[in-house]
Amino acid sequence: MDDWTYLAFVAGALTSTGYIPQIIKGYRTRKLDDVSLIMPAVLGFGMFLWLIYGLAREDSAIIAANVVGASFTTLLVLMKMRYSKAGKSISG
């Protein structure tokens, strides 16, 4: 691997793990009322498109970053949907 590939992996790791603090907080508190559903959904779709591009280009850094990022995004959206429904059914 060349230096640019290493840089791409570092950049991908940083951007793909950006959801981890929110996921941890949401898991601990079971409250994601302040989290927008649209923002991670749009970003997740963008990551999915980047994944397709990475597969077409056979670029391992793009593939890895977007598999991880899309997975975290999907997890956050699922948590938002689950915890929002749980909170509404109890109080409503």
- Of the candidates 42, 23, 16, the residue with the CA atom closest to the CA atom of residue 82: 23
Tell me, what's the pLDDT at 91?
A: 44
Q: What is the pLDDT of residues 2-30, one digit of tens each?
A: 899 999 999 988 988 888 999 999 999 99
The pLDDT value recorded for residue 79 is 92
Q: Is the whole-model pTM more than 0.85?
A: no
Picking from 27, 16, 29, the residue whose alpha carbon sits closest to that of residue 65 is 16
3-state helix, strand, coil split of the chain in percent (to 5) is 85, 0, 15
Asked if residue 1 has pLDDT above 90, the reply is: no
Query: Is the model's pLDDT at 92 over the cut of 50?
Result: no
Spell out the domains of the chain, with CATH numbers in brackets: 21-84 (1.20.1280.290)
Q: Which two tokens stand for residue 89?
A: 């059914």
Q: Do 5 and 64 touch, CB atoms closer than 8 A?
A: no
Checking if the pLDDT of 37 tops 90, the result is: no
Please write the tens of the pLDDT for every residue from 48-82. Answer: 999 999 999 999 999 999 999 999 999 999 999 89
pLDDT of res. 90: 46
